[in-house]
């Protein structure tokens, strides 16, 4: 059974009683017990559901552009009042990588949209700026835009992997005015500066840095006058990459100043939204040493679900269905929305 960390409250009692997925153990087959198998199969080998998306480009205040991929689902249950689920994929991923989550939510009647950072997911760059790790400015404008489009609907969010850094930053910075009814972080990244530190510690770190460089290379012409392109492309640590790219673009004097503005945990005490974080103790990318267990014991709106197995963004019980974490994320949000509806 998963281990749940929370503070006793009426909300916690309701969730534990109504969220059936919390009582469902994560049981992968023997060949999926290994953390690396879970991570590699889920992120690189597993065929994703054939979801169709309609891309929309949204202009930001500084003339930059982000892209929104709206899931195209023929479902009579989708109405003007249907809840809108914003999915924030991993920093180097796109809508395809979260198709199983999109399908899980769409099957339950959610209107799903995938938020892509500016310049990511094969979108063009109209300003000399890539979004910082935990800079919630663009996401804020997207949430307001969606609320304007669907004023009668609840807006909820699920973030995956390093995408959780952006969601945690947003929820903390905007607190009770976040305009999000419920949120989930899968394989949450907490102390990002420690995780993405001075040394590349594993194959995954090398691959992750390579994919970040690939994104930068696509926009080399647009960014070359605003950062040290050669130094960024030849960097061998995340710190060097951030110093030569993001610190230059944002005008930060040091990497410490950059992370002071982008650390996902900087305003975590101000999160007012019901939030569930799902982590595996064998995550090969984010060490469980950085999981802030005490945080979830202090705040009645924060919940942590921990499993022994699952890898990074894995949680697969087979190779043909929706992951255990995806089902839990959708189930948690449904329980929260139902509770909020009954309180009106």
CB atoms within 10 A of CB 70: 16
* CA dihedral for 212, 218, 219, 224, sign (positive or negative): positive
Spatial distance between the Cα atoms of 68 and 56, rounded to a whole number of angstroms? 5
For residue 283, indicate whether it is catalytic: yes
Residues of the chain with pLDDT under 50: none
Q: Which helix (H) or strand (E) holds 203?
A: helix 203-218
Spatial distance between the Cα atoms of 337 and 84, rounded to a whole number of angstroms? 12
Whether CATH 3.40.228.10 fits 3-191+264-343: no
Active-site position among 219, 242, 312, 326 = 312
Spatial distance between the Cα atoms of 117 and 92, rounded to a whole number of angstroms? 10
Q: What does the DSSP 8-state code read for residue 344?
A: -
Helix, coil or strand: residue 245:
coil
Give the pLDDT confidence of 42-80 residue by residue, as tens digits.
Answer: 998 887 788 899 999 999 999 999 999 999 987 667 788
Residue intervals in the chain for CATH 3.40.50.1820: 3-191+264-343
Spatial distance between the Cα atoms of 337 and 303, rounded to a whole number of angstroms? 16
* Assigned token pair, 216: 């930068």
Among the listed residues 166, 53, 165, 31, the one whose alpha carbon sits nearest the alpha carbon of residue 103 = 53
Q: What does the DSSP 8-state code read for residue 49?
A: P
- The whole-number pLDDT of residue 166 equals 97
Please check whether residue 86 is in contact with residue 144, taking contact to mean a CB–CB distance below 8 angstroms. no
- The whole-number pLDDT of residue 198 equals 61
Please check whether residue 162 is in contact with residue 146, taking contact to mean a CB–CB distance below 8 angstroms. no
- The whole-number pLDDT of residue 274 equals 97
Please check whether residue 60 is in contact with residue 51, taking contact to mean a CB–CB distance below 8 angstroms. no
Q: Helical H runs in 136-201?
A: 137-149, 163-174, 192-195
- The whole-number pLDDT of residue 185 equals 99
- The whole-number pLDDT of residue 1 equals 85
Active-site position among 69, 267, 283, 326 = 283
Pairing of strands 275-280, 183-186: parallel
For residue 267, indicate whether it is catalytic: no
Helix, coil or strand: residue 15:
helix
Q: What are phi and psi of 166, to 5 degrees?
A: -70, -45
Give the pLDDT confidence of 122-145 residue by residue, as tens digits.
Answer: 998 999 999 999 999 999 999 999
* Assigned token pair, 111: 């209107």
Spatial distance between the Cα atoms of 20 and 17, rounded to a whole number of angstroms? 7
Instruction: Answer yes or no: pTM beyond 0.75.
Output: yes
């Amino acid at each position: 059974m998963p281990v749940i960390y929370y503070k006793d409250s009426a909300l916690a009692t309701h969730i534990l009683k109504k969220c059936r997925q919390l009582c469902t153990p994560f049981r992968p087959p023997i060949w999926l017990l290994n953390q690396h198998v879970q991570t590699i199969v889920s992120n690189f080998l597993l065929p994703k559901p054939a979801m169709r998306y309609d891309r929309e480009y949204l202009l930001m205040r500084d003339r930059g552009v982000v892209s929104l991929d709206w899931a195209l689902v023929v479902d009579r249950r989708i109405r003007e009042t249907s809840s809108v689920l914003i999915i924030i994929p991993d920093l180097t991923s796109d809508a395809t990588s979260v198709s199983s989550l999109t399908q899980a939510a769409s099957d339950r009647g959610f209107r799903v949209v995938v938020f892509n950072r500016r310049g990511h997911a094969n979108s063009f760059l109209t300003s000399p700026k890539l979004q910082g790790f935990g800079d919630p400015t663009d996401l804020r404008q997207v949430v307001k835009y969606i609320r304007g489009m669907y004023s009668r609907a609840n807006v909820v969010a699920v973030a995956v992997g390093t995408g959780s850094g952006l969601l945690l930053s947003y929820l903390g910075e905007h607190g009770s005015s976040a305009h999000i009814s419920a949120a989930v972080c899968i394989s949450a990244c907490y102390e990002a500066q420690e995780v993405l530190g001075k040394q590349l510690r594993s194959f995954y770190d090398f691959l992750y840095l390579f994919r970040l460089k690939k994104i930068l290379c696509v926009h080399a012409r647009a960014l070359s006058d605003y950062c040290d392109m050669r130094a960024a492309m030849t960097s061998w640590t995340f710190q060097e990459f951030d110093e030569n790219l993001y610190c230059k673009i944002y005008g930060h004097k040091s990497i410490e100043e950059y992370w002071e503005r982008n650390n996902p945990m900087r305003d975590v005490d101000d999160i007012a939204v019901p939030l569930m974080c799902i982590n595996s103790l064998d995550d090969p990318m984010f060490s469980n040493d950085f999981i802030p267990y005490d945080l979830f014991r202090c705040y009645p709106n924060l919940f942590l679900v921990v499993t022994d197995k699952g890898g990074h963004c894995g949680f697969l019980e087979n190779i043909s269905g929706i992951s255990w974490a995806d089902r839990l994320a959708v189930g948690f949000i449904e329980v929260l929305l139902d509770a909020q509806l009954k309180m009106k």
